[in-house]
Structure 1
Amino acid sequence: MKRYFAWMLISVSGLAAAQSAPALAQQTYGNVEPTLNDLGGVGLLQMPSARHADEGEFSLQYYDNQEYRRMSVSLQLFPWLETVIRYNDIRTRLYSSDPSFSGDQTYKDRGVDVKFRLLEESYWLPETSIGLRDLAGTGKFSGEFIAASKRVGPLDFTLGLGFGYLGRRDSIGNPFCQVADKFCTRPTGTKGRGGSFEVDEWFRGNSALFGGVEYQTPWQPLTLKLEYDGNDYSDEPSGTPIIQDSPWNYGLHYRVNDYVNVQLSYERGNTLMFGFSIRTNFNDISQVKKPDSPQPPKMAKTQSLQQVPTEQLVQQLYQDAGWAIQKVRASNNGKKVAVYGTQRKYRDKDKALIRGSRVLAGELPNSVEQYEFVETSLGAELSSYQVDAQTTKQAWFKSDLTTVAEDAYQQQEVPSMDDSQVLFDHPHTIKWPNFGIRPRLDQSFGGPENFYAYQLLAQIDMGWLLQPNLYVDGRIGVNLLTNYDEFNYLVDNYEASLPRVRTYVREYVTFSDVWLAHLQATYVKQLSQDWYASVYGGYFERMFGGAGTEWMYRPLMENWAVGVDVNWAKQRSFESYTGFRDYHVVTGHLTGYWQPKFLEKTTVQLALGRFLAGDEGVQLNVSKQFDSGVIVGAYAAKTNVSASEYGEGSFTKGFYISIPLDLFQRDYTRGYGTIGWTPLTRDGGQMLERQTQLFGVTNARSDFYAE
């Protein structure tokens, strides 16, 4: 009977093709928000549910009990995909038995969870999801599940089938045993040095039913939880006995405000647990700006183009619309005016075009029927926006009820204007470099010396345009606070299996509190409408310098591009500011860029080639941009280096968040700040950090985002 019930649950989860309907949570009982479980991600207490948060929901969570501290980051990447990165601090175990290696630090086990929604809740059918917990960790907490959740008024019921860590109660036979005998047993141990995907363990071995109910109380901030646990805690990574007096867990979840939640629970019939989370939503983050609503354009002051004060026009385009204009041209018949320049202020291209069109409408005579904005970057004319002057004026003056400013323009290739007159041409002169200063935080997690390794630094940036297509950028770092000097992985007399291209980090950060981070000159050439090339050289990054070239094919308004780079890189000295070591390598990649139409604002980069340690393989980088402009991405590299040669972690991987700087200030800016997460610093699968890459230079060619 139990096995029959389990098969019914799996069958329901397979009905993804059924007609979907909006989730009933808000329809039936007001604004009901999903809550997090103890391990991160939406769920009950120890167990998950089928629910998903709103797209863009981001949470930092801490949960504590006698055996484990858990720290997690949860992100609802898509409406149907929840992701969790978690560290389990096993308080009863040390990182290693060698005090000289890891001191008294307790063992930290990292894991990654994903949950996919198979079926949205409808009137009759429950929301159904399938998930993998700890799918790329050591496997100590790994488990899989299929769950269904159904809301009835203030009650949200969940029933699920768990495997592995989620099914150790073994209360029901694994239904997949009926498919193949291999599903009846679950392999133990991990491959390599941890961090790999243990696919051959998924949905195998013991299984158990779990479930529960959440009650949204009439007092909106408070939710009560009741859960039946699928784990009996008979085999725990803590290495100490964990007694379970009852499979029933009880908890309450309290929303302190829009950003902070606390959860208190009584679990296993004998243990009190406490946790809290801090949340936001990457789609909804915004910052109030200074008053920035331009007045409608005034009536044109001039009757002919010859009377237009072009220098004043160029200045106004920069002040009101952020366009740094290098050239203004007009057709011989005077019906079209084109401005050539770079957008410096607004991330929102619509805002930049609308405001720029308003300036032109107020300054150019009525005889001009068409405006054109040609977006340039390092001398390359990338894209043209044709603007109908009459439509622009109709929208600004509200001549009718339907016309809006966006109706006035469209993107196209840059047309030839050989039969034109030059109204303004800013001659290039070599000026003093531009300088800026900002803080930066470099960090990594999970090292033996310290769980959290960091360096807080002041970053002095320099940009110098020597010619329209020749750019020099540099950066000086000044250490403010760090604990990287405690990093002792691979001491000098240890023979490593790979060239040490990244694990000399301790030597670099302890040599000096001031260093040259990079200094690179880049020359860019537009070969044709779709082809671009660059050559560059200098100090690429803190650890490598050299020279290289890059070529890119990027058609206009397409959701794909392809590029190739080849570099001769030589390792920089950590014993001097500008010197080099003996190690050098030829490294480069063939990289494809793709923005799938079925994944909104998502960019997939696949790079195939040779890495810094001479290993060969592929790196996958997937990033998603949310409505606020926040970009979240993850990358992983797999090369011909075995997991044992690579070391702990098995392969290179990481996670990053890029945040628009104008979310922290009242002025508009196009700048970004990036926070990265790297579980371990190892030498395999490491890419060269080049400056001024063509994907960013040519971003105006399509709707990709780039930094």
Structure 2
Amino acid sequence: MTFRIAAAAFVSAVLVATGVSAQQVRSINSYGVSGLIDLPSAQMQPDAELTTSVTILSNRSGRGQIAFQLLPRVQAVFRYATLPNFLPDGSPQLSRTYDRSFDLRLQLLKERHNLPSVVLGLQDLGGTSIYAAEYIVATKSFGDFTVTGGIGWGRLGTRGGFSNPLSAISDRFDSRPNLVIGTGGTLQSSQLFRGDAALFGGVQYEWSDRLTLKAEYSSDAYVEEVQKGVIDIKTPLNFGLDYALRPGLRVGGHLLHGSEVGLTLQFALNLKKGAFGSGIDPQARPVTLRPARDLNPRVWDTAWTQDGITAPVARANLVADLGGEDLEVVATKIEGDRAEIHFRNGRFTTSAQAIGRAARHATAALPASVETIVLVPLNDLGIAGTAVVLRRSDLEALENAPDGTDEVLAVAGMIDAATLDRTGLFTEPDAFPRFRWSLGPYVSLSAFDPDNPARFDLGAQAYAAYEPVQGLLFEGAVRRRLVGNRDESTRTSISQLARVRTDSNLFAKTDGPFISHATANYLWRPGRNLYARVSGGLLEQQYGGVSGELLWKRERAPLAIGLEVNRVRQRDFDMRFGFQDLDATTAFVTGYLNHGNGFHSKLDVGQYLAGDKGATYELTREFSNGWSVSAYATKTNITSEQFGEGSFDRGIRIGVPFSWILGTQTQASSKLLIQPILRDGGARLNLGNRLYPMVRDQSSPKLTENWGRFWR
């Protein structure tokens, strides 16, 4: 169970500690959402705000949250909580309960004039129901005072409850099914907005720009906790304060129910913003203007001796000039008034910026006779997507135009690079063979083991890649654990399915060096709009075999369709060269859809590692600075009982761009996976070099979405 929430929290802490978040965000409650102390308010965080928080109570309870403002009026929350002495008598983990839950908040009205903001909230949606509640809350500001009031059901309807006003619609709202603390993963639709309702409210006062005082009347009687002796309720009143240490970093102290004290630490950063504003990249060189020409109607002289720049000289200039920008020239074709440049982008986070830099260097390196410049950006494995066709005269005329970026896009040609004639294409002698290697640390984190909810390994990794010709790649990595405790997990799988993932803790027990992966890959363009990949070897830490993939992606089309088939066998637990007897075949048809405005959908339909069949849907929001946040859910033809705890697979991914942290261009990034429960149902291979992530950034519409960086 890979879980890197701790890394995300650490990154957040470092960033806000250095003052990179310039926006003061709203204080939160102990459940990680905008609110008072225990109670929610109807305020929302700024759009794209990522908030991590930790709440610790004196009764040894604790909650950690990640909240993301998905849209200006939609907020999603993941929570991981621990409570003492909460499970029934006889449970093997009587002393401690660990709980995972999700919230969804929808803002129905925004505050304006005499109207309050209004939010509809679903708490512990599809979780174990420990924190299950629904509410409608309103908030209105009056100068330094902010007043909140609402009506709640579930937990928020257990003190001072009255008959459900929704009973006027249907009698089914009269009663709420008894709380059954389940395994999570199923929507408790039978409970939503049912049973007694209760009113709650509170007020907060902004004492200063940094200090906020809070008081609330809670409608949560903590029924289960009181019965189990977890908390002693003396009063429904809670009091607290919230202090902003600096923008994005806040700390709150609370007195709860007259018997408990609590501490909340909040980190916030906005994924729309850059850490260092526009960055600290070197200034781009200007377009090199050609000398003015005689206006007589004669045909331009295209002899290579013009300007003293011959084809070999031009190629050498291109290699040197683009190399200074970490743009590696792989192949060129320079004929008459046309030049074609194939290059790898090893630095810039967007293809548009790399194309813009390459175009300006081309104006300096090419002879004046060249009018048409065809730029073909390649991905890291040398596969081309879109070829961008530019007129040199347009570059000369539009570089300093007020709307130069949009005007260049309007006159640029976008064609599938597979349609280019490769006759006469000169491959640079230093382009292949290509060898890369690196040596550095690695960290593996896991969580949600009830015996120890946070485990980690820290070690060293040696990586090497060899590319003898374009598209053929041999790569692998060897790791050695230095310190850690992931090998101490003693839990055994009780899965009803083939143990395709639930034996993951046994892989962590390997002693000595192990092979993370070792593969041979071949990627090529079978034809227009088509991309293909075949891979073989030790595909990931737990499986080896063969993999094949075909992707259809048409230039400028928002939709792409992929087909992937894998035949694999589970590796030995020592992760060297041996295999076990567990074989698996997976096959998927995948649809990718670019919705625009940074939103992307992915739908996989097919057969998973355990032989179950179903679908996975993932929604991602991406930002121009490289950040991304996505959520996925998988449902297959096995029952919730067969799946086990969690009922179905789901999770959250957070993409962290290193360029955002460093303030300079780099393509390095990290994916933080928050997977509440790892089971065998809905399990897929963790393959590298899948086609769509490599292809989409170098082709439209993603290419043109970031065209604003062309002149950067």
TM bucket normalised to smaller:
0.7 to 0.9
- Could you tell me which residue of structure 2 aligns to residue 614 of structure 1? 611
Change (3 A) 1:241 1:436: closer
- Could you tell me which residue of structure 2 aligns to residue 7 of structure 1? none
Pair 1:264-2:264 in alignment: no
Partner of 1:407, secondary structure, is helix
Pair 1:202-2:199 in alignment: no
Pair 1:74-2:72 in alignment: no
- One-letter identity of the residue aligned with 1:253: D
How far residue 402 of structure 1 moved from its aligned partner, in angstroms, is 4.9
Q: Residue deviations 1:527-554, cap 9 Å, x none?
A: 2221222222111111111112111111
- Could you tell me which residue of structure 2 aligns to residue 222 of structure 1? 211
How far residue 346 of structure 1 moved from its aligned partner, in angstroms, is 0.1
Contact 1:56/1:626 (8 A) holds in 2: no
How far residue 568 of structure 1 moved from its aligned partner, in angstroms, is 0.8
Contact 2:390/2:413 (8 A) holds in 1: no
Change (3 A) 1:105 1:362: farther
Partner of 1:200, secondary structure, is coil
How far residue 582 of structure 1 moved from its aligned partner, in angstroms, is 0.9
- One-letter identity of the residue aligned with 2:192: W
Change (3 A) 1:45 1:575: closer
Contact 2:128/2:182 (8 A) holds in 1: no
- One-letter identity of the residue aligned with 1:467: V
Please point out which of 336, 343, 351 is paired with 2:345.
343
- Could you tell me which residue of structure 1 aligns to residue 513 of structure 2? 514
How far residue 427 of structure 1 moved from its aligned partner, in angstroms, is 4.6
Partner of 1:196, secondary structure, is coil
Q: Matches of residues 12-91 of structure 1 in structure 2 within 5 Å?
A: 33-67=25-59, 68-91=61-84
Partner of 1:182, secondary structure, is helix
Structure 2 runs not aligned, ≥5 long: 1-22, 292-305, 706-712
Contact 1:444/1:677 (8 A) holds in 2: no
Partner of 1:245, secondary structure, is coil
Give, in whole Å, the separation in 2 of the partners of 1:129 and 1:457: 46
Please point out which of 662, 671, 675 is paired with 1:665.
662
Contact 2:318/2:362 (8 A) holds in 1: no
Give, in whole Å, the separation in 1 of the partners of 2:87 and 2:230: 17
Contact 2:507/2:575 (8 A) holds in 1: no
Q: Residue deviations 1:300-353, cap 9 Å, x none?
A: 59637636623432323433443222222235xx33322112221101333212
- Could you tell me which residue of structure 1 aligns to residue 580 of structure 2? 581
Change (3 A) 1:190 1:527: farther
Give, in whole Å, the separation in 2 of the partners of 1:243 and 1:58: 33
Give, in whole Å, the separation in 1 of the partners of 2:374 and 2:184: 56
Q: Matches of residues 160-309 of structure 1 in structure 2 within 5 Å?
A: 160-190=150-180, 193-217=183-207, 219-236=208-225, 239-240=228-229, 242-287=231-276, 290=280, 292-299=282-289, 303=307, 306=310, 309=313
Give, in whole Å, the separation in 1 of the partners of 2:39 and 2:192: 17
Pair 1:403-2:404 in alignment: yes
Structure 1 runs not aligned, ≥5 long: 1-30
Displacement over 6 Å in runs of 4+: none
Larger relative CO (CA 8 A, sep 6+): 1 or 2?
A: 2
Partner of 1:262, secondary structure, is strand
- One-letter identity of the residue aligned with 2:319: Q
- Could you tell me which residue of structure 1 aligns to residue 12 of structure 2? none
Contact 1:191/1:198 (8 A) holds in 2: no
Contact 1:105/1:448 (8 A) holds in 2: no
Q: Residue deviations 1:589-636, cap 9 Å, x none?
A: 111111223xx2122111111111111111122222134311222222
Change (3 A) 1:190 1:455: farther
How far residue 379 of structure 1 moved from its aligned partner, in angstroms, is 5.1
Contact 1:374/1:414 (8 A) holds in 2: no
Bigger drift between 539-548 and 654-663 goes to 654-663
Contact 1:105/1:449 (8 A) holds in 2: no
Identity of aligned residues (%): 26
Bigger drift between 682-691 and 655-664 goes to 655-664
Contact 1:50/1:117 (8 A) holds in 2: yes
- Could you tell me which residue of structure 1 aligns to residue 4 of structure 2? none
- Could you tell me which residue of structure 1 aligns to residue 108 of structure 2? 118
Contact 1:428/1:467 (8 A) holds in 2: no
Partner of 2:667, secondary structure, is coil
Give, in whole Å, the separation in 2 of the partners of 1:156 and 1:407: 49
Contact 1:95/1:108 (8 A) holds in 2: no
- One-letter identity of the residue aligned with 2:685: L
Change (3 A) 1:370 1:238: farther
Pair 1:92-2:94 in alignment: no
How far residue 430 of structure 1 moved from its aligned partner, in angstroms, is 5.4
How far residue 125 of structure 1 moved from its aligned partner, in angstroms, is 2.6
Pair 1:389-2:381 in alignment: no
Give, in whole Å, the separation in 2 of the partners of 1:147 and 1:406: 48
- Could you tell me which residue of structure 2 aligns to residue 443 of structure 1? 445
Contact 1:443/1:676 (8 A) holds in 2: no
Contact 2:201/2:216 (8 A) holds in 1: yes
- One-letter identity of the residue aligned with 2:659: D
Partner of 2:195, secondary structure, is coil
Give, in whole Å, the separation in 2 of the partners of 1:664 and 1:97: 49
Change (3 A) 1:626 1:652: same
- Could you tell me which residue of structure 2 aligns to residue 27 of structure 1? none
Give, in whole Å, the separation in 1 of the partners of 2:471 and 2:343: 13
Number of matched pairs: 663
Pair 1:138-2:145 in alignment: no
- Could you tell me which residue of structure 2 aligns to residue 3 of structure 1? none
Pair 1:674-2:663 in alignment: no
Change (3 A) 1:157 1:630: same
- Could you tell me which residue of structure 1 aligns to residue 17 of structure 2? none
Q: Residue deviations 1:250-306, cap 9 Å, x none?
A: 221110112321112223244332222222222224248555013424455963763
- Could you tell me which residue of structure 1 aligns to residue 561 of structure 2? 562
Give, in whole Å, the separation in 2 of the partners of 1:253 and 1:95: 36
Give, in whole Å, the separation in 2 of the partners of 1:657 and 1:112: 16
Contact 2:242/2:252 (8 A) holds in 1: yes
Change (3 A) 1:591 1:291: closer
Contact 2:340/2:375 (8 A) holds in 1: yes
Give, in whole Å, the separation in 2 of the partners of 1:582 and 1:307: 59
Q: Residue deviations 1:479-520, cap 9 Å, x none?
A: 1322222222226xx6x4111111222221212232111112
Give, in whole Å, the separation in 1 of the partners of 2:463 and 2:88: 39
Change (3 A) 1:644 1:525: same
Change (3 A) 1:619 1:680: same
Give, in whole Å, the separation in 1 of the partners of 2:329 and 2:163: 71
Change (3 A) 1:190 1:549: farther
Give, in whole Å, the separation in 2 of the partners of 1:689 and 1:629: 22
* TM-score, normalised by the number of residues in structure 2: 0.87
Change (3 A) 1:425 1:263: same
Change (3 A) 1:212 1:316: farther
Contact 1:300/1:364 (8 A) holds in 2: no
Contact 1:443/1:677 (8 A) holds in 2: no
Q: Residue deviations 1:149-200, cap 9 Å, x none?
A: 2222222222212111122124342222111221111123458632322122
Contact 1:449/1:486 (8 A) holds in 2: no
Change (3 A) 1:647 1:704: farther
Give, in whole Å, the separation in 1 of the partners of 2:311 and 2:36: 71
How far residue 66 of structure 1 moved from its aligned partner, in angstroms, is 3.2
Give, in whole Å, the separation in 1 of the partners of 2:630 and 2:239: 36
Give, in whole Å, the separation in 2 of the partners of 1:432 and 1:418: 24
Partner of 1:361, secondary structure, is helix
Change (3 A) 1:144 1:233: same
